[in-house]
Structure 1
């Protein structure tokens, strides 16, 4: 008996462990199953499941009505257009795609060339139409720049505000006279003198 006792203890421990494991396994699975069933019931209740446990299809319940706040936001965002229409921007900027080259003639010789980049400030609604009238506007502005050059406007310190302010005003009047579109201002973006 004393010889068998050391051999029986590990066997008994193994059998006891297996038996304990078998006893605890159904309880754990049942607990998880119960938890899953509880969460499943909550999910079914939230998702509109039928009493028999089958989930309702999309056709079983009506589609949600459109959100009123989105419609209201569209009405407010539309401004004067209303119903979600986007109002035209109040301002638009039309920059001539190519620069203006103004020769400075003295005694029949071209001593230098003025190079300018001009932009017209207009209404946002007039911007597409102004692009269509680019050539007419360019002709009117170039004519005014040539008059300015021939009267000595680009002589001396031509970058001083005392020289540029009257030039901007004359360019604006020339642009307004050549089109019926809104011309709020003519901006001189770049100006330089290059030796001829």
Structure 2
């Protein structure tokens, strides 16, 4: 008797668990559209704010190669790929100024290397925050407020 009843009980338990999970995990209903006046509360004013336009990202074409020196000798090389978070529609402005951007970025990267920023734990969060901030300031000196942030998309150090 139990052998015949056990599969039925297991099926009922599984069905109950599935139904409970379905109720708990069901998606939240979408809010009514602005045109659905019958469903919108009369006392609540409609939000007239424009939707925020997401930024664009521009990946600079070539990697940056930075030598790390010690006692006048190259002890390692750091290779970075950088991307810029910019205002929408401004990517052509970035590409038009890319040679100047690369120049100021290399100067910042060389200064960072000379200050010891690429030695030891060079991927430490606070260390990278300082580097990104310096790169962002340098980019703003070239193309202004178009650049919202500088992203380090790849970074590697190859020791000699």
Q: What TM-score do you get using the length of structure 1 for normalisation?
A: 0.53
Gaps of 5+ in 1: 1-79, 81-88
Matched, 1:113 2:74: no
Aligned equivalent of 2:96, options 129, 132, 136: 132
Q: C-alpha root-mean-square deviation of aligned residues, in Å?
A: 1.5
CA distance in 1, matches of 2:105, 2:146: 15
Q: What TM-score do you get using the length of structure 2 for normalisation?
A: 0.64
What's the counterpart of residue 33 of structure 1? Answer: none
Matched, 1:186 2:155: no
The structure carrying a bigger helix percent of its residues is: 1
Q: Is the 8 A contact 1:93 1:121 kept in 2?
A: yes
Q: CA deviation at 1:180?
A: 3.1
Q: Is the 8 A contact 2:58 2:84 kept in 1?
A: yes
What's the counterpart of residue 111 of structure 2? Answer: 147
For 1:6-85, list aligned pairs within 5 A.
Answer: none
The structure carrying a bigger strand percent of its residues is: 2
Q: Is the 8 A contact 1:118 1:190 kept in 2?
A: yes
Q: Secondary structure at the match of 2:140?
A: helix
- The structure with the larger Rg is 1
Q: CA deviation at 1:195?
A: 2.3
What's the counterpart of residue 68 of structure 2? Answer: 104
Q: Secondary structure at the match of 1:130?
A: helix
Q: Secondary structure at the match of 2:89?
A: helix
**Corresponding residue pairs, total:** 109
What's the counterpart of residue 159 of structure 2? Answer: 195
Moved over 6 A (4+): none
Q: Secondary structure at the match of 2:83?
A: strand
Q: Secondary structure at the match of 1:180?
A: helix
Q: CA deviation at 1:172?
A: 0.3
